[in-house]
A and B are shown apart, each in its own frame.
Chain A
Amino acid sequence: MKRKALAGILAAAMTAGLMVPAAAVSAADATTVSLWIPTLANYTDEAVAEVEEAINAYMADKYGVQVDLQYIEIGNFEKAVNLAMTTDEVDVTCYFTDNGQLATYVANGQLLDITDYFENASDELKATFTEPEIIASSMNGRMYGLVRKYQYGGNEVAVLNKAIAEELGIDAKSITTMDQLEEVLYQAHEAHPEIYTLVPQSAAEMTWGWAAVCDRGIGLTAYAYADWGTTELKSVFETEGFTEFCGYMSKWYADGLIMADALSNTMEGSSMVTAGSAFCTLHNADIDPLDALYPNTVETGEIAPPRAESIAIGNLQYGISANSAHPDESFTVLQALYTDPEFATMLSYGLEGKHYVLNENGRAEYPEGMTAENEPYGGFAATAAYPDFLILPVKETALYEDAKATVEAWDDTVEVSASFGFFYDTTEMTDFVTAYMNLQDKYLNAVMTGSVALEDILPQIKGELESIGFYEVLADTQAALDAYLAEK
């Protein structure tokens, strides 16, 4: 009888155990808005909890909502958000648009149409965004998110190891062309053959910036490219800019300047340059000096001028999941991210006195003894991930006094894609887009790292492009672009 009773108790306990997660979920607070942010730096759980507590004390009084901070490692961010968007787990979220993802999100019904919310929002919020920024977060005249307030596009520079540059008497700021960079790369290679001379900016990607290469993402598609300043669509492999870029890379790779394992590299170029295991990495840049971000480095002059592809204006946006159970509260939080400096500063920099301090000039810096390496709330080093850095206190390392005026001045100098504003609907072409992306993935990094010479492999690539019907699709896209430009 005892055994029977024990069996019954155990079975009941196991059955109850199966039910616990369901009960826990249903107990969630209805007025809490989850906010998903990608991490570009390290955040400890304790620091995030502290900041969240402070934010919630502030938000409860001012807006009557609570915020649940969800920091997700940037490499997994897109996958995690996509999964979370199938339920009401995510309310306000960051999302990337650098590969034309906005069109996909809209086609899949993942993002809430916020046009009406925006039209009824405060004048302060409306005045925050320029017309190009509103276009960048809209599809077919409807708004789906708010772009990150940041400068349009970027320029291309190289980041050099400071010690080696000084040792070799290299004046980094005087390097403004690929030929000049080539000269110092050979110089460094000869003096320090024991380290990598040039490494990819990140993993197998030679550079994140396309200012020195070509215009891409035209029509918010993944396959339409053009040379800068032109509207003649081409495959990326056939643009002049890409061909020239890859010409340098294959020569440098053949001469042993680029790391041999560039295609299977998993490290950040800046980390290797900082650590002294590499001399140089190419890097996209903007108004913030990179050598202030990466210790022991020096930034070269501008190798390519600031340029913005169609997808580069606000290539990071914040929107509301279509499945959000609290769209009104979510928009309140979304609006506050761009209009409430106190909330935005707490979210980005953390707690004053603990994660950052304001010095006598009113500028923000790390508390004494704290650096980007040991600060527990990484937001101060990762401002680029947050919605609006223009309303935050200026950092001590910044080369400007007024962030907003500086960004506006920068934006005036940027060459914006000649096709900006054009949208080509690919929602019924998913098989083609998948086949194209696989093809591009197959060759892009290989030729951009110089591991394979573009000229050797181009006939094969063109053959494969033909076999998936690329040129027909490109012709249709070109016709639509021409019609758009004619109408414009």
Chain B
Amino acid sequence: MKQKAKAKTKTSWKSVFRHWELYAMMVPGLIYLIVNNYIPMAGLVVAFKNYNYKEGIWGSAWCGLKNFKFLFGTRDAGLMIRNTLGYNLVFIITGTVFAIVVAIVLNEIRAALPKKIYQVFILIPYLISMVVVSYIAFAFLSTDAGFINKTMGTRTNWYMTQKYWPFIFVIINLWKSFGYNSIIYYATVIGIDSSLYEAAVVDGASRWQRIWHVTLPGLRPTIITMTLLAVGRVFYSDFGLFYQVPQNSGLLYDVTTTIDVYVYKGLMLLNDVGRSAAAGFFQSICGFILVLTANMVVNKVDKDNALF
């Protein structure tokens, strides 16, 4: 038995030696991963410490779960968790549906040049900084000179009226993200075996039936993967979207305060690294649990498409 294990180890090392260039190429990535992704994890200990700048991470006193109380101990806790989860769920649903529709439409376009042009145009918003987006939004929503008020002949003060902002956030998020997501879906669509479409045509399937019975089932693994990744981040929010775009208008706080925005404001006021770390820790753990749960559900429903 021992001899067998020894022989196996020897073979493994031989294999490493034989393919040393592959392992060598792995080293930079591995170092990067360890330095940037694993070593900083030790810093999570700050979430349980009364962080003192002078004492540093390891010298600061322990404070148990005090930093986590910040997230749940105020009257704003329900508000920020509601907003964070609510917006993310709407973003996932609208984003996924819209991106799939656009991917399918792109696939149906036969002319190569227009297809390329559309792809480039729908990707541009994804590349624009949220600060720039906030000015574009202002150009639309300004009371005096905004495109909407000018066109409609109204004087709506958008930055003081809460009821419009859930819709504005959804529209901006959709506009900004659908291009990137639809290209990912489109890449999957063009990878679907063309013989399936040919067989469907031979069987007399209409265009709609081909989409329904061939394209969408082909997209299912990608949809599941993308959704699982998005579910893992439902406790995070796009800080720029909720802070920059509404210009940090106080009267909109009830609909713009997400966990990230609240923590940012608290940090700006108190420079409290411990509470920031606690918020990040909480978001990661919740995301991790949600991904595991969602994957478990997928495992039960459709084992082949589960991530693990």
Interface set of A (CB-CB < 8 Å, partner B): 3-4, 7-8, 10-12, 14-15, 17-18, 78-79, 82, 85-86, 99, 104-105, 108-110, 204, 222, 259-261, 263-264, 266, 321-323, 430-431, 433-435, 437-438, 441-446, 451-452, 467-468
Chain B residues positioned under 8 Å from A18 (CB to CB): 28, 31-32, 35
Bound state CA distance, A85 and B35, in angstroms?
22
Report whether A105 and B270 are in contact in the complex, using a CB–CB cutoff of 8 Å.
no
- Contact with A435, one of B21, B32, B76, B272 (Cβ below 8 angstroms): B76
Q: Is the interface of B mostly helix, strand, loop or mixed?
A: helix
- Contact with B75, one of A442, A443, A468 (Cβ below 8 angstroms): A468
Report whether A441 and B250 are in contact in the complex, using a CB–CB cutoff of 8 Å.
yes
Contact with A along B268-286 (1 / 0, CB 8 A): 1111110100000000000
Which of B24, B75, B250 has the most chain A CB atoms closer than 10 A to its own CB? B250
Decide yes or no: A430 and B27 within 8 Å by CB, A18-B32, A435-B76 being known contacts. no
Shortest CB distance B143–A (Å): 4
Q: Chain A residue with minimal CB distance to B144? A: A260
Q: Chain B residue with minimal CB distance to A79? A: B268
Bound state CA distance, A438 and B252, in angstroms?
12
Report whether B21 and A3 are in contact in the complex, using a CB–CB cutoff of 8 Å.
yes
Shortest CB distance A469–B (Å): 10
11 new A-B contacts, CB < 8 A, other than A14-B27, A104-B269, are: A4-B20, A82-B271, A110-B53, A110-B271, A261-B159, A263-B250, A431-B69, A435-B76, A441-B253, A446-B250, A446-B251
Q: How many A-B residue pairs have CB under 8 A?
A: 131
Q: Chain B residue with minimal CB distance to A1? A: B21
Bound state CA distance, A109 and B61, in angstroms?
12
Bound state CA distance, A7 and B247, in angstroms?
50
Bound state CA distance, A18 and B34, in angstroms?
12
Decide yes or no: A85 and B70 within 8 Å by CB, A110-B271, A433-B269, A434-B270 being known contacts. no
Cβ of B74 within 8 Å of any chain A Cβ, yes or no, is: yes
Report whether B253 and A430 are in contact in the complex, using a CB–CB cutoff of 8 Å.
no
Decide yes or no: A435 and B74 within 8 Å by CB, A8-B21, A11-B28, A441-B253 being known contacts. yes
- Contact with B24, one of A7, A78, A110, A451 (Cβ below 8 angstroms): A7
Bound state CA distance, A323 and B51, in angstroms?
14
Bound state CA distance, A210 and B273, in angstroms?
31
- Contact with A264, one of B32, B75, B138, B273 (Cβ below 8 angstroms): B138
Cβ of B113 within 8 Å of any chain A Cβ, yes or no, is: no
Decide yes or no: A438 and B25 within 8 Å by CB, A18-B31, A264-B138, A468-B74 being known contacts. no
Report whether A109 and B253 are in contact in the complex, using a CB–CB cutoff of 8 Å.
no
Q: Chain A residue with minimal CB distance to B137? A: A264
Q: List 18 A-B contacts (CB under 8 A).
A: A7-B21, A11-B27, A12-B24, A110-B54, A110-B271, A260-B144, A263-B160, A263-B247, A263-B249, A264-B138, A264-B142, A322-B54, A430-B272, A430-B275, A433-B270, A435-B75, A438-B265, A441-B265
Chain A residues positioned under 8 Å from B51 (CB to CB): 108
Bound state CA distance, A3 and B53, in angstroms?
50
Report whether A434 and B251 are in contact in the complex, using a CB–CB cutoff of 8 Å.
no
Which of A104, A263, A434, A442 has the most chain B CB atoms closer than 10 A to its own CB? A434
Cβ of B86 within 8 Å of any chain A Cβ, yes or no, is: no
Chain A residues positioned under 8 Å from B144 (CB to CB): 259-261
Decide yes or no: A4 and B21 within 8 Å by CB, A79-B268, A105-B271, A435-B76 being known contacts. yes
For B, the interface residue count at a CB cutoff of 8 angstroms equals: 46
Chain B residues positioned under 8 Å from A108 (CB to CB): 51-53, 270-272
Shortest CB distance A214–B (Å): 19
Chain B residues positioned under 8 Å from A99 (CB to CB): 269
Cβ of B55 within 8 Å of any chain A Cβ, yes or no, is: yes
- Contact with B160, one of A85, A86, A104, A452 (Cβ below 8 angstroms): A452
Report whether B270 and A451 are in contact in the complex, using a CB–CB cutoff of 8 Å.
no
Cβ of B303 within 8 Å of any chain A Cβ, yes or no, is: no
Report whether A442 and B28 are in contact in the complex, using a CB–CB cutoff of 8 Å.
no
Cβ of B217 within 8 Å of any chain A Cβ, yes or no, is: no
Shortest CB distance B57–A (Å): 9
Report whether B249 and A264 are in contact in the complex, using a CB–CB cutoff of 8 Å.
yes
Contact with A along B50-79 (1 / 0, CB 8 A): 011111000000000000011001111000
Q: Chain B residue with minimal CB distance to A451? A: B160
Report whether B159 and A431 are in contact in the complex, using a CB–CB cutoff of 8 Å.
no
Contact with A along B226-239 (1 / 0, CB 8 A): 00000000000000
Bound state CA distance, A438 and B144, in angstroms?
28
Decide yes or no: A15 and B28 within 8 Å by CB, A108-B272, A442-B253 being known contacts. yes
Bound state CA distance, A445 and B160, in angstroms?
11
Shortest CB distance A85–B (Å): 6
Q: Chain B residue with minimal CB distance to A430? A: B270
Shortest CB distance B254–A (Å): 8
Cβ of B218 within 8 Å of any chain A Cβ, yes or no, is: no
Contact with A along B26-51 (1 / 0, CB 8 A): 01100110010000000000000001
Cβ of B221 within 8 Å of any chain A Cβ, yes or no, is: no
